[in-house]
Amino acid sequence: MKDLKGLNDVVFKSLPFQVKIISNYPSYFYYKPTFLLSFNKFSIGLQASYYSTGSRISSKDYSGEYLFDTRTNCIAPSVYGDYSLFRLFEKCNVSLYSEGGVTFSQLSLKEDLTVVNENLTNSSYAFKSRNYYIEPGLKLEYHLSQLMNIGLNAGYFAQFGTNDFVSDKNEVLNNRNETIGPDWSGLRVGLSLSVSLPHKKVTSN
């Protein structure tokens, strides 16, 4: 989130009173419900990922309080596929995976200033953006039973596209005449729990 962190720096340095950056777009848990069709060596299917993060700049003393909050999230539907490379021990499997899809990002900004119990500023703004991504990686999977697996995956989320944050009035978010867009790119490490639905094999006479 390089562009949004740059916006925080400008807000931090432009205020006439002392403030602190309480949070500056830290990493959070992400969620990826997935539906797969599995075959002997590979699986393919659809998934929907959800990411979120945010920031806060604030100041508070006996005379009043100032808050500048940002919240951004992303829903990313995608196509997923993996291919089994080799086995480690009897119940462990190493796979190569890849996913690609669309990112639908939303951003909310809120600024609030209260002095001696009087609210002087209370502004909020909403923006959205659409881009694309691909994430290749490796997955280590352990078979708990015939129906349940637990996995550890590591990959790199690479966002591409140049669509910036735009409001419903087609106003582009900018910082000193430089447009601002989402940037979800980065290393992804996660745990997964999968459940396989039993099915009958189709045989021909």
Which tens digit of pLDDT belongs to each residue from 5-35? 888 898 898 888 889 999 999 888 888 888 8
Instruction: Name the helix (H) or strand (E) containing 8.
Output: helix 2-14
98-142 residue pLDDT tens: 999 999 999 999 999 999 888 888 999 999 999 999 999 999 988
Least confident span in 28-42, 138-152, 160-174, 189-203: 189-203
- Closest alpha carbon to 108 in 132, 137, 128, 91: 128
For the chain, domains (ranges, CATH) are: 2-195 (2.40.160)
47-73 residue pLDDT tens: 999 999 999 999 988 888 999 999 999
Helix and strand totals (H; E) in the chain: 1, 10
Alpha helix stretches (DSSP H) within the chain: 2-14
